[in-house]
Amino acid sequence: MTRGSCLCGAVRFEFDGKTTDIGMCHCSKCRKVSGVASNATLMASLENFAWRSGADTLMKFSLPDGWSVWRCSTCGSPVPVLHPGGGAYWIPAGLLDSDPGVRIAGHIFVDSKAPWDEIGGTAMQLRDDFGSEEIG
């Protein structure tokens, strides 16, 4: 069982079973909304995921184009969101309180990374989304 929580602890969740590896997104939206170089996320299937607290206090922030993020309404931490496909939760890896057992699968939207962002490690680097041209 892997557990996660927001900065203030109001939002708590857990999941078990197989997850995806971690994807590091360097796109401009992830950079802006997180304030850091890249967003680290993994996905757990709907049936393996459970909210433990705070699910009724989440706040949604939306752009006019429909792009949105959900946050803890007390501390502003990003929180897991249901994938548009509906079968899985997208989980910000920084929220995890224990080792999920998976590692970084790759870096995506590397073409959009900040000029000061130096990507370390050996995971593949992709120009755009997973499936796009490998550039590092």
- In the complex, the smallest distance separating the C-beta of residue 118 from Zn ion, rounded to whole angstroms, is 18
Query: Tokens for 40?
Result: 């680290």
DSSP string, 64-105: TTS-EEEEETTT--B--EE-TTSSEEEEEGGGBSS--S--EE
Q: Which stretch binds Zn ion (CB under 5 A): 18-26, 41-49, 83-91, 113-121?
A: 18-26
Q: Three-class SS of residue 111?
A: helix
Query: Tokens for 131?
Result: 């499936």
Q: Which stretch binds Zn ion (CB under 5 A): 16-24, 44-52, 65-73, 81-89?
A: 65-73
Residue 63 lies near Zn ion (rule: CB under 5 A): no
Of 15, 1, 80, the closest CA to residue 49 belongs to: 15
Residue 43 lies near Zn ion (rule: CB under 5 A): no
Residue 27 lies near Zn ion (rule: CB under 5 A): yes
Interface pattern 94-133 for Zn ion (x via CB under 5 A): ----------------------------------------
Q: How much helix, strand and coil, in percent to the nearest 5, is found in the chain?
A: 15, 40, 45
Residue 8 lies near Zn ion (rule: CB under 5 A): yes
Query: Tokens for 134?
Result: 């490998």
Nearer to Zn ion, 65 or 101 (CB): 65
Binding site for Zn ion (CB under 5 A): 6, 8, 10, 25, 27, 30, 72, 74-75
